[in-house]
Structure 1
Amino acid sequence: MNNYTKPRPSIRVKILGSGTANQLPITVVGRECWALRQLMAAGDAGCTPIDQPGPRWSHYVWKLRSYGLMIETEHEKHDGAYPGHHARYFLRSDLEVIEATDDVNASVAA
């Protein structure tokens, strides 16, 4: 089994506008699926690479935005041994989850 054939998590959602779906459903797989689930679970608190470590948060967000998802970015400073700044991401799109799978053999309908 290689990276192209192994099971990957996925989520199928509709983006809602004014309470109704305003486009066809989209399916997000792999790391972008993980990031979308993190954003959905975080709600108004948002997600940061500090609290939810992921190797390429900015890339995941860029790809999710290409699907038409509204994701807001705020920049925050942090202290500690390596002071600097990081992004906090907020999912601003209202979504309806149609289907979510952890792998090819197990699905959970929302």
Structure 2
Amino acid sequence: MSNKITIRLPDGRRQTFEGREAWTLRHLVNAGPAGITTLEQPAPRWSHYVFKLRRAGLIISTDRESHSGPYPGSHGRYRLETPVTIVSEDAA
């Protein structure tokens, strides 16, 4: 089974994403206004998949957040700002 998601944009256009871009978009939609971080949903190359979704025209904001622990630093919280409606999805 493939990993595919089709969304409808506010202007009525549809876009289909496959693979890791579909996976990332699904997580962004499910996170809603709270957004999501790689600490909450670990996966390689999050920033690259977000980059590809942005390049496809979706607006995704990134807020920097500090974290403590054995390796203190900061991470990004990604939020999907483009209102979308999921038309169909085929999750692996």
Instruction: Specify the structure having the higher radius of gyration (Cα).
Output: 1
Note if 1:60 corresponds to 2:49.
yes
Unaligned segments of structure 2, at least 5 residues: none
Contact between 1:15 and 1:69, CA under 8 Å: does it hold in 2? Answer: no
Unaligned segments of structure 1, at least 5 residues: 1-6, 104-110
Which of the pair is proportionally richer in helix?
A: 2
TM-score by length of 1: 0.79
TM-score by length of 2: 0.93
Note if 1:26 corresponds to 2:18.
no
Measured on the aligned residues, the alpha-carbon RMSD in Å equals 1.1
Percent identity of paired positions between Structure 1 and Structure 2: 43
1:54-83: per-residue Cα shift (whole Å, max 9, x none)? 101100100001111110000111100000
1:10-29: per-residue Cα shift (whole Å, max 9, x none)? 0011211xxx42xx311111
Structure with bigger RCO (C-alpha 8 Å, 6+ apart): 2
Runs of 4+ in 1 over 6 A off after TM superposition: none
Of 67, 70, 88, 2:77 maps to 88
